């Protein structure tokens, strides 16, 4: 009984940590019918890892059907100078994606030129290698970088959906989104942890 109670408590504790908030502060058409999130995964010294998630709610965009996402971008996510930017993981594996580019994401993917703005653009190696998705899927990219400054509370995300022939479809999405922190428990966690410890203490007292 003691073990099962403890296991139940640990399981509940694990589920209390904040999940990425998938949100779309603009219209569904501008979001291509999907939801998006940016999460800080880790921070060691001046090295950060950020995850961009796309939660697929629809494959209908711009009055056309599409099942490929060809490029994504994180922009204005930190202060200072960005160095050593790299892509750690991407849907389908890194072999399908180019190295990160500091250029702006345009309708032709990561070729919009740079202008000193903090940004990381990741593009599939070809339209046919763009990430296919289905309803209910969550697509995730993990970016790593060093900064001489600090992480901002928001980032601008951009995304390019294409047809199998590489033609842009739907909106070239672009908007600001809050950066979540995967390692910080929600406030309710602390009270529930305390309550769980008290309950375990009472159970042990009764057994003794």
What is the overall mean pLDDT for the chain?
75
Query: Is the pTM higher than 0.85?
Result: no
Q: Report which of 61, 37, 53, 66 is spatially closest to residue 133, judged by C-alpha positions.
A: 66
- What 98-105 contacts at long range (C-beta under 8 Å, 24+ apart), as own/partner pairs, is 98/122, 98/123, 98/124, 98/125, 100/143, 104/73, 105/71, 105/72, 105/73, 105/158, 105/159, 105/160, 105/172, 105/174
pLDDT band at 8 (very low <50, low <70, confident <90, very high): very low
Convert the pLDDT of each residue in 163-189 to its tens digit: 878 888 777 878 888 898 876 443 333
- Average pLDDT on 117-140 reads 85
**pLDDT above 60 for 19:** no
Q: Which of 79, 89, 81 is closest to 144 using CA atoms?
A: 89
Domain architecture of the chain: domains with CATH: 20-190 (2.60.40)
Mean pLDDT for the stretch of residues 73-101: 93
Q: How far is CA 126 from CA 31, 68, 111, 147, in A?
A: 23, 11, 14, 30
Of residues 36 and 189, the one with the higher pLDDT is 36
């Amino acid at each position: 009984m003691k073990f099962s109670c403890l296991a139940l408590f640990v399981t509940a504790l694990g589920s209390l940590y904040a999940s990425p908030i998938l949100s779309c502060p603009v219209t569904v058409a501008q979001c291509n019918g999907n939801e998006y999130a940016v999460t800080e995964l880790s921070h060691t010294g001046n090295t950060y890892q950020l995850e961009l998630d796309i939660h697929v709610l629809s494959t209908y965009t711009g009055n056309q059907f599409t099942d490929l996402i060809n490029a994504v971008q994180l922009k204005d996510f930190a202060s200072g100078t960005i160095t050593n930017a790299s892509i750690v993981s991407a849907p389908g594996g890194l072999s399908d994606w180019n190295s990160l580019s500091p250029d702006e994401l345009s309708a032709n993917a990561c070729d919009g030129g740079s202008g000193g703005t903090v940004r990381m653009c990741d593009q599939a190696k070809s339209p046919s290698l763009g990430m296919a998705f289905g309803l209910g899927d969550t697509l995730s990219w993990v970016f790593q970088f060093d900064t001489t400054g600090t992480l901002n509370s928001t980032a601008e995300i951009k995304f390019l959906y294409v047809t199998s022939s590489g033609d842009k479809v739907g909106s070239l999405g672009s908007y600001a989104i809050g950066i979540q922190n995967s390692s910080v428990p929600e406030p309710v966690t602390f009270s529930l942890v305390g309550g769980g410890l008290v309950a375990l203490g009472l159970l042990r007292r009764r057994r003794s």
